[in-house]
Structure 1
Amino acid sequence: MRPTFTLHINKRDTQRMKKGYPLITEKNLTKKLPVITEGAIVDVNDESGNFLGRGYYGKQNKGIGWILTRNQTEKVEVALFKSRLKTAIEHREKLFQDSSTTAFRVFNGEGDGVGGLTIDYYNEFYVFTWYSEGIYSFKEEIYQAFQELRSFKGIYEKKRYASKGEYIEDDDFVMGERGEFPLLVKENNVQFAVYLNDGPMVGVFLDQRDVRKTIKEKYAKGKTVLNTFSYTGAFSVAGALGGAAKTTSVDLAKRSLSKTIEQFSVNDIDYESEDIVVMDVFQYFKFAKKKQLLFDLVILDPPSFARSKKHTFSAAKDYTGLLQEAIAITNKNGVIVASTNCSTFNMEKFHTFIKEACRKENVSYEVVEQFSLPTDFKTIKSFPEGNYLKVVFLKVKS
């Protein structure tokens, strides 16, 4: 039997909790956090002892736990998880029926009612990602609930709850049959090679599906495309299939070369006609300026935080400077796809970075469109930081 603890929320944060805010943090509490075991049940009350919600204790970089129910009679057990999973699966029914897309998110943490857990679908295989020891302690109940709802070829899992949310190396296979990798999946009829058993990332970021489609269908034809922080080259594939004159993919990681070649190859694109550069992106900007290279479409999708031998990059502090570098090598009337997954600032703040970068480079610009998370990455209004993705297409005019 799991222990149950009662936590009291201060007056300042009580109203936010009443409106559906699901994250529990130490700053919310009226008293110092008692010694609690990961996975313990927590009843959250206001200062007067009135019930606000029930959840679990699980320490991760965002906080110390998540509220799972506002119903005082509902227990944290298989039935609760099955209810949340069932609703989430029904929300993605159109995607399950769409033969042109076989990779998407099935369950998006607090957006679907269970903070600390995500589930992704890859062509009849599923990947469960656990973000705290606390939620992982419910794995038997959650896997039981899932098996009662969906058939599958196999299940893999990722554990992201070491210090600072780092990945815990382990055999990622859980049950069913082991996949043969690379596993080919489709996204709007574009193929991607993924590896469910090879570290924390599988080879493609599913939250950028709408952006890749837009690049392919509206912005790539006849254009020179620069894809920075290119990872496995998914944006470059979208550009090439959209009729780009040429794509250039730049990433510091050595394995990005073979991974990008693979993504081009599974889409029958001649990778030798594209440029794949293993280099620090900031060094590449210097190289491009020296060689007077200019691009029609520049894609900026950096990690929220990155460190190389010569550079430390923080999206919250350094995105303006990154945009300035991109503007300097973008053709007049060219388009920059400015993207960030940093959750510590919102779209309004992101637009201030764009405005400041253009001011410093003395150029005018036009926002032609923008994106946040696709519909399968479900979010809730009461937790705005869950809607972390911000993508702005801006045309550099003069």
Structure 2
Amino acid sequence: MERNYHYCVERNRELIPPDTDMFRVMDGVGDGIPGVFVDQMADRLLVSTRGCSIPADLESELRDTGMPVFHKKLEQNQKDAPVQIAGPLLPLQFTALEQGVRFKIDMSAGYSQGIFLDQRDHRRRVREKSAPGMRVLNTFAYTGAFSVYAALGGAQTTTLDLAQPCLDWARENFMLNGIEPSAQYFCKGDARRWLERFARQGRTFHGIILDPPTFSRDDRGKVFRVESHYGELVALARECLEPGGWMLCTSNCRKLGHEDFRRMVARAVPGFRLTHDPMPPDFSGEDYLKRLWVDWK
């Protein structure tokens, strides 16, 4: 059954954690509008479409909210920034709140606007699993959201990404939450080579987050594809894990099924306990995100 925007907003008041103003409002097929997704980003709305246009009645509803509305076509270049289609012109960079944690959002950024909303529950669990004296490694960190949660839990974090602008953005997110970036570590470069280096150095972590892009190419031209190489990545990370530690293994690769993903991870960490958890309740459509908690038995 197709649901309208206002119905979904009211429904989500019961689903979304307190102190959170960014979340999925409408989730494609889960709300009867395949290929159309609406995200609340503080006092802005982001509509993403895949293989279709925004339904006229939905666009009219969104315009009537009076909020800035942005549109992103997912079938185009994923690095294209959303285009504003309605509402007042407000600063494109602003701060949004998730479970009491502040993040810089940028509506002019391509690919993503600074955070992946479908990982919200995982971020909360990373904070719960972190504690003073622990070391947490966040690979493919993007803007460091997992790192911020781990640091708020008391852990010392290492934030690793290939792009310097992402690391700079992560530092801003730390400062937004009263965390001094100089007390944390930041590493620029290819995650696989850093994991190899950490293993040689005997540098270990109590928690490791592995959330790589579906496809990437490092500065030496080496290709990484999740459906082919994720198990190798997990095996590298295993060499850097403290006894009794944990890993979060996730991927949004649609070419890789849940069972194939589980088998790939299980082969890389034999004897470990693997736990699959649900998507956040506001993501009621396609169950695309592969996610496993890997715990040392």
Same-fold call, TM cutoff 0.5: yes
Deviations 1:215-268 (A, max 9, x none): 112344431000000000000000000110x10011111211211111111111
Q: 2:258 aligns with which of 325, 333, 347?
A: 347
SS at match of 1:94: coil
Structure 1 residues 238 and 247: CA distance shift in structure 2, 3 A: same
Q: 2:108 aligns with which of 197, 221, 224?
A: 197
Q: 1:377 aligns with which of 275, 283, 297?
A: 283
Hey, what does 1:118 align to over in structure 2? Answer: 37
Hey, what does 2:289 align to over in structure 1? Answer: 389
Aligned 8 A contact 1:280 1:308 in 2: yes
Hey, what does 1:365 align to over in structure 2? Answer: 272
Aligned 8 A contact 1:104 1:120 in 2: yes
* 2-structure distance, mates of 1:348, 1:373: 16
Q: Which of the pair has the greater relative contact order for Cα pairs under 8 Å at 6+ separation?
A: 2
Structure 1 residues 124 and 210: CA distance shift in structure 2, 3 A: same
Correspondences of 1:1-398 after superposition (within 5 Å): 83-95=3-15, 99-132=18-51, 135-136=52-53, 138=54, 140-147=56-63, 151-162=65-76, 166-167=77-78, 169=80, 172-244=83-155, 246-310=156-220, 311-359=222-270, 364-367=271-274, 369-379=275-285, 386-397=286-297
* 1-structure distance, mates of 2:179, 2:18: 22
* 2-structure distance, mates of 1:119, 1:280: 33
Tell me which amino acid in the other structure corresponds to 2:195: F
Deviations 1:179-236 (A, max 9, x none): 3243111111011110112223100000000000011123444310000000000000
The alpha carbon displacement at 1:140 in A equals 4.2
Identity of aligned residues (%): 28
* 1-structure distance, mates of 2:194, 2:114: 23
- Name whichever of 279-288 and 176-185 sits farther off: 176-185
Structure 1 residues 152 and 330: CA distance shift in structure 2, 3 A: farther
TM-score normalised per structure 2? 0.92
* 2-structure distance, mates of 1:181, 1:258: 18
Aligned 8 A contact 1:84 1:113 in 2: no
SS at match of 2:75: coil
Aligned 8 A contact 1:220 1:297 in 2: no
After TM superposition, which residue ranges in structure 1, 4 or more long, deviate above 6 angstroms?
Answer: none
Aligned 8 A contact 2:81 2:107 in 1: no
Aligned 8 A contact 2:63 2:86 in 1: no
SS at match of 1:231: coil
* 2-structure distance, mates of 1:145, 1:342: 32
Tell me which amino acid in the other structure corresponds to 1:154: P
The alpha carbon displacement at 1:269 in A equals 0.5
Number of residue pairs the alignment of both structures matches: 296
Tell me which amino acid in the other structure corresponds to 1:144: S
